[in-house]
Structure 1
Amino acid sequence: MKFALHFGNNSFPDGAGAARVAKLAESAGFDTLFAIDHVVIPRDYATPYPYSPTGKLPGDDSSPYPDPLIWMAYVAAVTTRLRLMTGVIILPQRNPLVLAKQVATLDAMSGGRIELGIGVGWLREEFEAIGVPFERRGKRADEYVAAMRALWATDDAGYAGEFVAFKGINCNPKPVHGSVPIIVGGSTEVAAKRAGRLGDGFFPSIGSQTDILPLFDVVRRAATAAGRDPAAIEFLTGCPDALPQSGKDARAAVEARRAAGVGRIVLPMTAFLPNIEESLPRFGETVIREFS
């Protein structure tokens, strides 16, 4: 079982803090550090945030949301083993050719430690501010995934879709392992089906207000229907009962997740604050080591 920390870049938005938490996480045995994504947050938005009963994002207008790729590049430079993942980048808002170059460069320079967690977004007002249509963003995301994989796979690449099309294109450097794992985020059946069709993994939000375990079967069925091996898709999910403050049996909680098919446990950074110098190593000793 692997363990990951979520909300790295907004919890530690400055360089010194990013380096501090990354080194501690790597030393404690965490596999992955996640960085979230919002390009802009409109002051007044009516679209409800789906992962909070209040319908609003945590924080206020001045809350920092460092660009995840730049933040990950900084962290990659001060670590050697820790994997880094966008959790999740709002894919339809990004130019797929530019993003493919950025991600492949970061992967090559980090020695193949990058994963691209993707989502289609929920904040209509953000899309409007950026100038990207909110409608049909799922279809746009599907095409962007295919286009990026084409660029990563070979030179003289081509792709023809409704939202992106090119031919005879070279994009280098390539990812270390030939591609970058794409992890589909979201706590809906639509997201689960997308993960089954084209994802290397599925990551329902750890703040989901619904039971996400039934979505794993949706992923498996979608993978089978697409002619893919369901066993090749990794499942990532939260595990609140594994946290020390839960008062629960952490080992039993993690074992239950593993029995459900989960390969990586994702825990919120906030659960380890404020004293990460004590809490992260202690979690590594008492929980992570048990599963290494």
Structure 2
Amino acid sequence: MRVGVVFPQTEIGSDPGAIRAYVAAAEDLGYRHLMAYDHVVGADPAAHPGWSGVYDVDTTFHEPMVLYGYLAAISSLDLITGVIILPQRQTALVAKQAAQVDLLTGGRLRLGVGIGWNAVEYEALGQDFSQRGRRLAEQVGLLRRLWTERSVTFTGRYDTVTGAGIAPLPVQRPIPIWFGAQSPAAYRRVGRLADGWLPQVQPGPELDEARQIIERAATEAGRDPAALGMEGRIHYGHGGAEAVARAAAQWRDAGATHVAVNTMKAGLRTVDEHIAALTEVAGTGVLDPR
């Protein structure tokens, strides 16, 4: 099981020096990959009475593909989007951006995708919030064709491509696509379409039930459920380093191929405090190969 980190972009600010320091520390400590969340715009609560979203207009988010182009030059960590909100983005442009990141990193990108929850963001990007699940399912097949074929002709419900392709192609052909999932419909999409998944629940009955749905959908689609990766998320704020180590063991027993340590929402105020938390976790031996 490979252990990585969740990039704490909402709490370390926008200083490039802080970003470099955090990524270098994570790599030096032995973490294997970095995950970054995605939001293009945030909603202003003053303009949306009753707003209850997790993030708003003042929450700091770096654009993952641009960030990863920068990190490709300074780090050898694997990079995963966790998750790109795919249906609000242009499919061919995502294919091009992901291929470029994969090329610059020598094949170290995993494209985590999901449908999102913020209708305000969909409106700003000119996409239909109500069609997001259906659109994602169509986009995945088109992405894989754009990453593996010189010239693509495709006519779908949401996208049309006529005799066109991207160059250069990525190192990984195709780039692995992992799904964020937290509903039965999303679990079924994982089984039918994904290379791996990012559960929103912890090991226990809910995770077991989700895996059953995924495995059944994969089998019905003629796919091998055992080939699907699974990445859990562990929150440092839920008990500190020792709790992270215990949770990592639970994820390993549950069959996770990856986990990511999230130090956000733990009362940490600076990049140095986030690095100190990662150092504390590394000291438990959780990064040792097993």
Q: Is the pair's TM-score, using the shorter chain for normalization, greater than 0.5?
A: yes
Query: 1:202–1:235: 8 Å Cα contact kept in structure 2?
Result: yes
| More displaced 10-residue stretch of structure 1: 4-13 or 259-268 | 4-13
Q: Deviations over 1:110-142 (max 9, x none)?
A: 111111110111111221222211112111111
1:245 maps to which of 240, 250, 265 = 240
Alpha-carbon distance in structure 2 between the residues aligned to 1:166 and 1:238: 36
Aligned to 2:39: 38
| More displaced 10-residue stretch of structure 1: 106-115 or 262-271 | 262-271
Aligned to 2:6: 6
1:126 maps to which of 114, 121, 129 = 121
1:257 maps to which of 230, 248, 251 = 251
Aligned to 1:25: 26
Matches within 5 A, 1:207-246: 211-240=206-235, 245=240
| More displaced 10-residue stretch of structure 1: 252-261 or 13-22 | 252-261
Aligned residues: 282
Matches within 5 A, 1:72-221: 72-80=68-76, 82-205=77-200, 211-221=206-216
Letter in 2 for 1:288: V
Aligned to 1:266: 260
- The offset of 1:160, in angstroms, is 2.3
SS of the aligned residue for 2:223 comes to coil
Alpha-carbon distance in structure 2 between the residues aligned to 1:197 and 1:266: 24
Q: Identical aligned pairs, as a percentage?
A: 32
Query: 2:242–2:281: 8 Å Cα contact kept in structure 1?
Result: no
Query: 1:28–1:285: 8 Å Cα contact kept in structure 2?
Result: no
Query: 1:11–1:269: 8 Å Cα contact kept in structure 2?
Result: no
Alpha-carbon distance in structure 1 between the residues aligned to 2:102 and 2:267: 28
Alpha-carbon distance in structure 2 between the residues aligned to 1:200 and 1:41: 29
Note closer, same or farther for the CA distance 1:239–1:257 as it changes in structure 2 (3 Å cut): same
Alpha-carbon distance in structure 2 between the residues aligned to 1:142 and 1:286: 40
- The offset of 1:154, in angstroms, is 1.4
Alpha-carbon distance in structure 2 between the residues aligned to 1:57 and 1:33: 21
Stretches of structure 1 that go unaligned for 5 or more consecutive residues are 49-54
SS of the aligned residue for 1:265 comes to strand
Query: 2:89–2:125: 8 Å Cα contact kept in structure 1?
Result: no
Aligned to 1:68: 64
Matches within 5 A, 1:38-57: 38-44=39-45, 45=48, 55-57=52-54
What root-mean-square deviation, in Å, do the aligned CA atoms of Structure 1 and Structure 2 show?
Answer: 2.6
Stretches of structure 2 that go unaligned for 5 or more consecutive residues are none
Alpha-carbon distance in structure 1 between the residues aligned to 2:23 and 2:2: 16
